[in-house]
Amino acid sequence: MREIVFDTETTGIFPGDGHRIVEIGAIEMIDRVVTGRTFHSYVDPCRPMPKDAQAVHGLSTAFLTGQPVFEMIIDEFLAFIGEDPLVAHNAVFDMEFLNWELKRCGKPVIPHSRAIDTLEIARRKHPGGKNTLDGLCSRYDIDLSARTKHGALLDAELLARVYVELTGGRQIGFDLATEPAVTVAPVEQTVFVSRAHEASPAELERHAALLATLKDPVWLH
């Protein structure tokens, strides 16, 4: 099964307040295994970056000015995600921003039913636990050393690993009951081959002659 793990960075919390997406990153997984295919782009929000948002992801107005606007990257992003499920942490946030941008471009919105929210999964699995992305990475011993600030592609990569842990680890989907039965031959049939007859007198004579040529054989000690 193909799934897309994705994350966004924005200028603020609510798109209705005029906030925009400034970075989007996505990773392809098939059967809970990362394939190496990714999508990533910075986005010029065409508005100033608030200081509190910049403190989270480190993306400044100067850096984002001149990056592609959302209309320039959306078709490539939609082609990458296809019709497959979208995995996000606090998916409501990312889906609201994504659909807000899609509406601005005159594109159909993506149904929330396509989203898999790892935050909801974590809350069910670890009630009362620290279920932020950082907290889950610490719980599952996932290396956070590269995450000095939020970043869409890096966070999607970390979330992909968290998602695997939340849904059963690397063996997810491995159903012994559905695997074809394998017949294992007895060891003596696969390793030892019985002779169909005893050694002939000529073979015994050649064997004795060979032994006679050996000097100081170990079995005589």
| Catalytic machinery residues | 150
Which residue, 118, 133, 74, is CA-closest to 99?
Answer: 74
Residue 208, Ramachandran bin (φ over 0: left; ψ between -120 and 50: alpha; else beta)? alpha
Q: Tell me the C-alpha distance between 186 and 190, whole Å.
A: 7
Which residue, 74, 78, 112, is CA-closest to 95?
Answer: 112
Q: Tell me the C-alpha distance between 64 and 100, whole Å.
A: 19
How many CB atoms within 10 Å of residue 69?
Answer: 14
